[in-house]
Amino acid sequence: MELSIIATPASPHFPDRRSLDFIRSNLPLAPVPGVPEIRLHKAGPASGLSRLGDSEPDFATPYWAYHWGGGLALARYVLDTPGCVAGRRVLDLGAGSGLAAIAAAKAGAARVTAADIDPYAMAATALNAAANNVTVATRLGDLTTGPPPAIDMVLVADLFYAADLAERVTGFLDRCLAANIDIMIGDPWRAYLPRKRLKLLAEYPGMDFGDLAPSAHATNAVFAFLPPA
Query: pTM (2 decimals)?
Result: 0.89
Output the tens digit of pLDDT for each of the chain's 229 residues.
Answer: 444 444 333 334 455 677 788 888 888 899 999 999 999 999 877 676 766 666 666 667 788 888 999 999 999 999 999 999 999 999 999 999 999 999 999 999 999 999 999 988 999 999 999 999 999 999 999 999 999 999 999 999 999 999 999 999 999 999 999 999 999 999 999 999 999 999 999 999 977 765 545 555 589 999 999 999 8
Confidence at residue 215, expressed as pLDDT on a 0 to 100 scale: 53
Phi and psi at 178, nearest 5°, equal -65, -25
Domains detected in the chain: 17-208+215-225 (3.40.50.150)
Question: C-alpha angle with apex 96: 141 to 215, nearest 5 degrees?
Answer: 150
The CA distance from 215 to 79, in Å, is 22
The rounded distance, in Å, linking the Cα atoms of 207 and 151 is 30
Cβ neighbors of 135 (< 8 A, separation 6 or more) are: 1, 4, 105, 112, 129
Quote the CA–CA distance of 111 and 129 in Å, as a whole number: 13
Task: Report whether 201 contacts 184 (CB < 8 A).
Answer: yes
Answer whether 81's CB lies under 8 Å from 68's CB: no
